[in-house]
Structure formats: structure tokens, C-alpha cells
Chain A
Amino acid sequence: EIVLTQSPGTLSLSPGERAALSCRASQRVSGTYLAWYQQKPGQAPRLLIHGASSRAAGIPDRFSGSGSGTDFTLTISRLEPEDFAVYSCQQYGSSPLAFGGGTKVEIK
């Protein structure tokens, strides 16, 4: 069973800054089957990235994903006010599906 560890737990940044969020897997994620989601309080989670680096429909190009094997990164190139939220990674290359604990990106 793959365990995903996200770091940092909280990232304090200002609008316009770059954010780099880490997702580490306890075992290799097969086929780069990793997704990233954004969550805001009271709202439905939103798919950002699938296949480790493919942006979902309608996602701005300031969001990018990278990585393979056990180390993955979500990068937000320039934070917009609406980007302050919780971000979670999910592996779907093996059973059971697993999510990370999330990284909160907050306004500094």
C-alpha cells in the first residue's frame, strides 16, 4: 500500500510569489499515475493535474506538475489571490487509491 506524504504542511506566501509543493510516495508510483486537487472551504475539490504533469481542462498554465517514481511536485508560478487553498495529491497507479494529507497555501 502506497503512502503519500505532502510537504510542507503549510506554505505562507504572498500573491505573485512562486509555490512549490512536494508529494513523496513510500513506493514507486507506476506510470506517473499521480493527480493534484485544489480544495477551498465549502467548495467541491477541483482536479488540477493528472498523469503527474497534464493540466485538466480549464486549469491556468501557472499550474504545472512534474516528477516520477516517488517524488512529485506541483508548482504555481505566480500566486493569484484565488490560489490560496489546500492542495492534495493522489496516486492511482496501484490499489488501494491513496491521497496525501494536503498542503495549505496561505497568505503571508
Chain B
Amino acid sequence: QVQLIESGGGVVQPGRSLRLSCAASGFTFSNYGLNWVRQAPGKGLEWVTFISYDGTDKYYANSVKGRFTISRDNSQNTLYLQMNSLRIEDTAVYYCARDAAFTAGAVYWYFDLWGRGTLVTVSS
């Protein structure tokens, strides 16, 4: 079954860290660029970060640059998001999303497969 499953969310205090994971199955993980997209309560979707199929290229939204780090393990079909120095405004459901380009190295910048998300709540 083609799917993405996020985990690792929870309640964390401001300034602390959290690591999210996204386990992929049913497709050739190493061919695809991957993203994290978040949605704060009652708000629209917000793109957070992208990593290329082989992990060499990474891009971040200005709102998380310098605090969040995206990485991947193609041997384990898993995507990660290390979130440091968390802020109240980072509270959101975090989705793992696959770039629609199925050829390794290509990037379309829209997303054809999403997970159900994991909730991160930053609160004191």
C-alpha cells in the first residue's frame, strides 16, 4: 500500500526540541523528493521544508530556517524533521508530503501523496 505515516508529535515546552519521523511504504522512496508541510489550528497549509531524493539539496521556509533540519534515510525509507528552539507559533499538524515528480532528480513542487499528519503542540 502506497502511504506515508508520520509519528513523533506531542506536547513540548517552548525552547525545547522534538524529532518527527515519516515512514514510507509501497513506492521507491529513494526516487522522490519529500517535504514537510504544516497546518496551525484554524489556519491554511504552510510549506516548511524540502529534501531532494538523495538528500543533497535542502530548502527551508524563512520561519524555520536555522531551527529545523530535514533529513532522510533511504535504507530505512524514512524522512525526519529535527525541530529545535520550538516556539508557540510552531504549534501545528505536521504532514509529510511527496513531491509529484517520479523521476529521481526531478522536482515538480506540488504534492501527490500525503500522510495523515502528527500534532505538535508547543506550550508552557
Q: A residues near B, CB below 8 A? A: 33, 35, 37, 42-47, 50, 56-57, 88, 90, 92, 95-102
Contact = CB atoms under 8 A, between A and B. Distances in A.
A42 B93 CA distance: 11
B45 A56 contact: no
Interface string B43-59: 11111000000000001
B61 to A, nearest CB: 6
B16 interface: no
Contacts, number: 55
**Interface size bucket, B side?**
20 to 34
A90 B109 CA distance: 10
A92 B108 contact: yes
A47 B100 contact: yes
A42, A44, A57, A95 pick with most chain B CB within 10 angstroms: A44
Contacts of B59: 95
Contact of B45 (A43, A44, A99): A99
A46 B4 CA distance: 13
Nearest to A44: B114
B116 interface: yes
B111 interface: yes
